[in-house]
Amino acid sequence: MYITGMDHSSRPLLEVEDLSIGFAGDQGIVAITDKVSFKIDPGEAFGLVGESGCGKSVTCLALLKVLPNPGGKVLSGRILFKGRDILSMTPEELRKVRGREIGMIFQEPGAALDPLMSIRRQLLEPFRNHGYEGDPMERIRFLLDRVGIADPERVLASFPHQLSGGMLQRVMITMALSLNPSLLIADEPTTALDVTVQAQIMELLADLRRDLKVSVLMITHNLNLVAQYADRVAVMYAGRIAEEGPVEAFLRRPLHPYSQGLLAALPRLDEPRGPMRPIPGHVPRPVDYLPGCRFRDRCPHAFEPCVRKPALFSAGPGHAAACFLYENGGVK
C-alpha cells in the first residue's frame, strides 16, 4: 500500500509493492522484510534509511534480483521498473536491465572491483557485455573527467590496490554510469571513506544526478547524508517501513517515534555538549519480532492499539507513518 498526497503526472521509475523477503533459517524460512512499498520518480534522490538488520540492503539486492542464492527468497510483492516486473523477467531481460538501466555502487569499492584486472579492462566490461554503438573509451574518458579524475591515463593503467578509497569509488561511479542508466543504486556509498572524501563523493553524486538526469536510490544509516542529498526518505525498522515522506517535512516533523528517537540520538556538530539521548533497548533479530508494532517495546508512546500491526497512516502531503498515533490523521 502506498499512500501519497502528491500528484505525479508521469509514471514512477521504480515501484516496489508489498515486497516481503525471507531467508532460510534453522526453523524454515524467516521473513526479513514485511510488505515494503515505496516508489521513486524520474530524477528523484530517494533515501532508504535504517540501522543494521532493518532489511534495507536485502531490499536493494532484491531490486536487481541478486539475493543470496540459496538462502534468500522473495516471498511476495512486485518490483516494477518502468512498469515492467523485475521479478518475472527472464534471465536475458534481467541482464539488459542490470548494468544498462540500473547501475549500482557499493560500500567497499575495493571489494567490489577485481583486484587482478586493470581499471581500463574493468571499465570496458559493461560495454562489452551490453554492446555499445560509439567508442567506449570516449565515453569512459568523458565520465572519468566528470567524476573528477584529473589523470585518467594513470588511473586506467592502475590496478585497484594502487588507488585510494576515494579514487576507487569514483571508478565505481564511472562504471555504474557507463551505459547511461536511469537509476543508480548506492548502498552506503561513503561509509568506508574519510569525512572529507565522503563530502566530495556525495557532492559528485548530486551533480551527476542533476546533469545526467539519473534517479538515485541511496541506502544508508546516516541521516545527515539523507538530510543533505535526498528529496524523499523512507525509514525502515525491523523489516518494515516506519515512516515515509519528503525530507524537508521529515526533518521538520518526524512522525514515527523511532524516527524521532534516531534524530534525537544523533550527536550534533552544530550544538554544544548536552546529554546523550539514546533509544533504550536494541534492534531485535527477525526471530524476535513482536506481533503488532515491532517498535513498541522501545517506544515511549506505546499504547493499547500497538499490539496490532499499524498501517501507514497519512499525516501530511506525501508524509505517512506506520504508527497508531496518526490513525485519525494525527488527531488522537
Partner 1 sequence: MTSGTGLLDVRGLKTYFPVVGGVLRKTLGHVKAVNDVSFSMGKGEVVSVVGESGCGKSTLGFSILGLTLPTEGSLKLAGHELDIRSPASWKPHRKDFQIIFQDPYTSLNPRHTVFEILAEPMRVHGMCSSRELPAAVAAMLEKVGLSPDYMHRFPHAFSGGQRQRIGIARAIGLRPKLLVCDEVVAALDVSVQAQIIQLLLDLKSELGLSLLFISHDLSLVRSISDRVMVMYLGKIVEAAKTEDLFANPRHPYTAALMESIPTLDRARRPKLLGGEIPSPVDLPPGCAFAGRCPRVQDRCRREVPALFRAGASEAACFYPIDLPPIP
Instruction: Give whole-number Cα distances, 28 to 31, 112, 158, in Å.
Output: 10, 31, 46
Site membership for partner 1, residue 17 (CB under 8 A): no
Spatial separation of the C-alpha atoms in residues 33 and 289, rounded to whole Å: 11
x/- site string to partner 1, residues 35 to 64, per CB under 8 A? ----------------xx------------
**Residue 27 φ/ψ, nearest 5 degrees:** -105, 45
* Site size with partner 1, rule: CB under 8 A: 46
In the set 202, 315, 322, 325, which binds partner 1 (CB under 8 A)? 202
Spatial separation of the C-alpha atoms in residues 13 and 32, rounded to whole Å: 25
C-alpha cell read off for 263: 534524530
Closest distance to partner 1 from the beta carbon of 33 (Å) = 18
Whichever of 150 and 331 has its CB closer to partner 1, that residue is: 150
Site membership for partner 1, residue 251 (CB under 8 A): yes
Whichever of 102 and 241 has its CB closer to partner 1, that residue is: 241
**Residue 79 φ/ψ, nearest 5 degrees:** -125, 105
- Can the peptide bond before residue 115 be classed as cis, meaning omega within 30 degrees of 0? no
Choices 28-36, 87-95, 123-131, 262-270 (CB under 8 A): range interacting with partner 1 = 262-270
In the set 26, 151, 270, 304, which binds partner 1 (CB under 8 A)? 270
Site membership for partner 1, residue 246 (CB under 8 A): no
Spatial separation of the C-alpha atoms in residues 194 and 148, rounded to whole Å: 17
Site membership for partner 1, residue 211 (CB under 8 A): no
Whichever of 258 and 326 has its CB closer to partner 1, that residue is: 258
Q: Spell 37-75 as b/e; 16+ CB within 10 A means b.
A: bbbbbbbbbbbbbbbebbbbbbbbbbbbbebeeeebbbe
Whichever of 40 and 49 has its CB closer to partner 1, that residue is: 49
Spatial separation of the C-alpha atoms in residues 233 and 45, rounded to whole Å: 9
Closest distance to partner 1 from the beta carbon of 59 (Å) = 17
Whichever of 99 and 254 has its CB closer to partner 1, that residue is: 254
Site membership for partner 1, residue 266 (CB under 8 A): yes
Cell 547524508 -> residue: 225
Closest distance to partner 1 from the beta carbon of 226 (Å) = 9
Site membership for partner 1, residue 287 (CB under 8 A): no
Query: For 24, how many CA atoms within 13 A lie in the half-sphere containing its CB?
Result: 7
Spatial separation of the C-alpha atoms in residues 332 and 203, rounded to whole Å: 42
Q: Residues 6 or more apart from 109 whose CB is under 8 A from it? A: 165, 168, 169, 171, 172, 192
Instruction: Give whole-number Cα distances, 303 to 58, 197, 220, 237, 244, in Å.
Output: 31, 45, 30, 19, 22
In the set 14, 173, 177, 279, which binds partner 1 (CB under 8 A)? 279
**Residue 76 φ/ψ, nearest 5 degrees:** -165, 165
Site membership for partner 1, residue 227 (CB under 8 A): yes
Site membership for partner 1, residue 278 (CB under 8 A): yes
Closest distance to partner 1 from the beta carbon of 27 (Å) = 18
Closest distance to partner 1 from the beta carbon of 300 (Å) = 13
x/- site string to partner 1, residues 136 to 165, per CB under 8 A? ----------------------------x-
Whichever of 26 and 133 has its CB closer to partner 1, that residue is: 26
Site membership for partner 1, residue 249 (CB under 8 A): no
| List of residues contacting partner 1 (CB under 8 A) | 51-52, 164, 166-167, 194-200, 202-203, 221-225, 227-229, 247-248, 251, 261-263, 265-280, 282-283
